[in-house]
Structure formats: C-alpha cells, structure tokens
Amino acid sequence: MVRGLRGATTVQRDESEDVLAATEALVIELAEVNKVLPKDIISVLISTTTDIHSTFPAKAVRSIDGWKYVPVMCTHEMDIPGALPRCIRVLMHVNTDVPQRYIQHVYQNDAVKLRPDLQK
C-alpha cells in the first residue's frame, strides 16, 4: 500500500549549506521514525517557499548513503502573504503496510507551527 509521509523544516538563511543540511536532517528523521528503507520509497517531492533559491534541496536526498536512485523532485510553494518564511516541505511516497493513523509526520524548527496538532 502507498502512504504519504509529510514533513517540514525551516532555515535561518538561504545558504546552500543550510538548505542541504536541513533537508537531509528532515528526510532522515522522517524515514527513521517510520522505519522506511530507501527500497520502500516510491518518490520524494520537496517544495520550498520562494525565498529559498540557493540550491536544489534534492541534492541533499541524493547524497544520503543508499538513496542515490530514489526519485526526487523540487518545486516552489505558492507565494502567500504571511506564509512561514524559508520553509522546506517534504512529501515522501512509500510502500508500507502501516495504517495511516500510525504514520509519523515530522516538523522541525519553526515548521512546528504548521501542524501543532501533530506535536507530542
């Protein structure tokens, strides 16, 4: 069965190193808490707010050991006034038998504000 794992994080600065480090940390935690291996991943969609343009966050995913062949795509979010700045969002499609209610979505840094209902 295919499930979607959601997550988001933010960076303080639009610097390539910051964007790549934050993206890698988010994707790794999302996979680890849901016990997902690269072979179980169908695809990863990464979006950023339009104030992030220093690098492709997908580079971070492809650099993770064992993730070289995971399909990854980047895009920009809608530019909505008042939206959380410098935000990176991830939607990971995975093969899993875990029921939807047990999927753990991950929100880091200022992105915890996006889904306070999911915080423990």
- Residues designated catalytic: 6, 62, 74, 77, 89, 107, 115
Report in angstroms the alpha-carbon separations of 59 from 76, 102, 116. 15, 29, 29
**Residue 107: its H or E element:** strand 106-107
Separation CA 3–CA 18 (nearest Å): 28
Q: How many other CB atoms are there within 10 angstroms of residue 2's CB atom?
A: 9
